[in-house]
Structure formats: structure tokens, C-alpha cells
Amino acid sequence: MPRVSTNQLAARRQQILDGARASFSRHGYEGATVRRLELATGLSRGAIFHHFRDKEALFLALAEQDAQRMVEVVVEQGLVQVMRELLASPESIETGWTGTFLEIARRTRTDPGFRERWRERSGGLAVAIRGRLERQAAAGALRTDVPVGVLASYLELVLDGLLSRLATGAPDRDDVRTLDAVLDLVEGAVRVSQPARPGAS
């Protein structure tokens, strides 16, 4: 049926998603007016809403995509590493999950309809984190005096905190150094603890 190739179509879709991500990230959901979405995507209202039913559908698709990417990275590299890279590359803050995160939190909080729709589509991240931790636990890399579920929850909490922190404003050089040390702390709290003993790191 399609008159243009599926590739072409997917590319357009992605073009819209990318522009929209930047716009939502910079201005927030309400601030990302359709006018701004047009400018950011280089397409017209007609085009945008031809591909997505309405603004929320667009945001939802975008958030889902971001979450999926996040899951993949977490599976590959682990949460702590993800956080380290988040810290190291300021440009990822503008374009990636960071900007989306706060908007999801906010809309999840204020709009029950959105909460429902998001719950249906999100899912994966917590599962991925816990999965990776369980593999590490099996490999004996984690402390054993605390259930894995608690460790997972702990890391998620720190991630959320870091995202909030980064969303609020780019950290300066000192901030980055401090936050890196914080991540060391976090990592230490999860690993088999070779606790502060004379001579230990």
C-alpha cells in the first residue's frame, strides 16, 4: 500500500522524533508548542500530525524510544557506567533521556491518563537493571548481605537523582569531579565490600 518506501517513511518519523526530542527537552512538554515543533523538525503541522495523532502520542513515542535506548545501554554497560557517561558527555544531556525523564515524571504525576498510557509502554528499564544485577550477583560481584532487589532500587534511586540533578542544569568541572566521587561511593556500596580497612581503597 505505501506509496513511498517504508524506509522513507521511517526516516521521516525519526526526523520528527528527533526534532521533537530537542524541543521537549529544551522547553518542556507545554513549552514545546506546535510552532516550535515545526521549527525543530523542519516540517509543517500537517506533516507532524500525519505521523502522530496528537502531541501526546508524539511525546509518548519519543519517550518510549528513549527508554528503549536506555535499556539497551544498561544491559550492555551497567547502570553505573551509564551514569558515568552521562556525567562525561554534556551533549547527551540535551538530546537524550535526561530531558525526557523529568517530563515523564511530571506528566505521570499530574495526568492519570498519561500515567496509564506510559505504564503500558515503559516497563523495561527496571527489569533490565535487576536482570543485570542478578547476573552480577551470580558472578559473586555484589555484596550478599542485601537482597538484589534493594540494590536495584538503590541504583534506580541514584539514577533518578542524577537525572534530576543534570536536568536542572549542566554541572561545572568541580561538580563533575564531585559527582564522579559520588558514583565511586555508590559503586562501593553495591560491590562486595572490602570496607574501610587500613590499606583498602
- The stretch among 53-61, 62-70, 72-80, 98-106 that binds its own copies (CB under 8 A) is 98-106
Pattern 4-33, DNA, x by CB under 7 A: xx---x--x-----------------x-xx
According to CB under 8 A, which one of 67, 103, 128, 129 is a site residue for its own copies?
103
Rule CB under 8 A: is residue 84 a binding residue for its own copies?
no
| Alpha-carbon distances of 67 from 21, 59, 61, 74, 111, rounded to whole Å | 13, 12, 10, 10, 19
Pair 181, 84: CB distance under 8 Å: no
Q: How is residue 57 written as a grid cell?
A: 502520542
According to CB under 7 A, which one of 26, 49, 65, 154 is a site residue for DNA?
49
Rule CB under 8 A: is residue 139 a binding residue for its own copies?
no
CA distance 199 to 201: 7
Closest CB to DNA among 57 and 127? 57
Please give the DSSP secondary-structure letter assigned to residue 142.
Answer: B
Rule CB under 8 A: is residue 193 a binding residue for its own copies?
yes
Q: What angle do CA 66, 69, 70 make, to 5 degrees?
A: 85
Q: How is residue 69 written as a grid cell?
A: 535506548
In a 3-state reduction of DSSP, which class is residue 53?
A: coil
According to CB under 8 A, which one of 41, 65, 109, 130 is a site residue for its own copies?
109
* Type of residue at 162: L
Pair 148, 134: CB distance under 8 Å: yes
CA distance 16 to 127: 29
162-181 binders of its own copies (CB under 8 A):
162-165, 167-169, 178-179, 181
- Which residues are at the interface with DNA (CB under 7 A)? 1-5, 9, 12, 30, 32-35, 43-47, 49-51, 53-56
- Which residues are at the interface with its own copies (CB under 8 A)? 26-28, 30-31, 99, 102-103, 105-111, 115, 143, 145-147, 149-151, 153-154, 156-165, 167-169, 178-179, 181-182, 185-186, 188-189, 191-197, 200-201
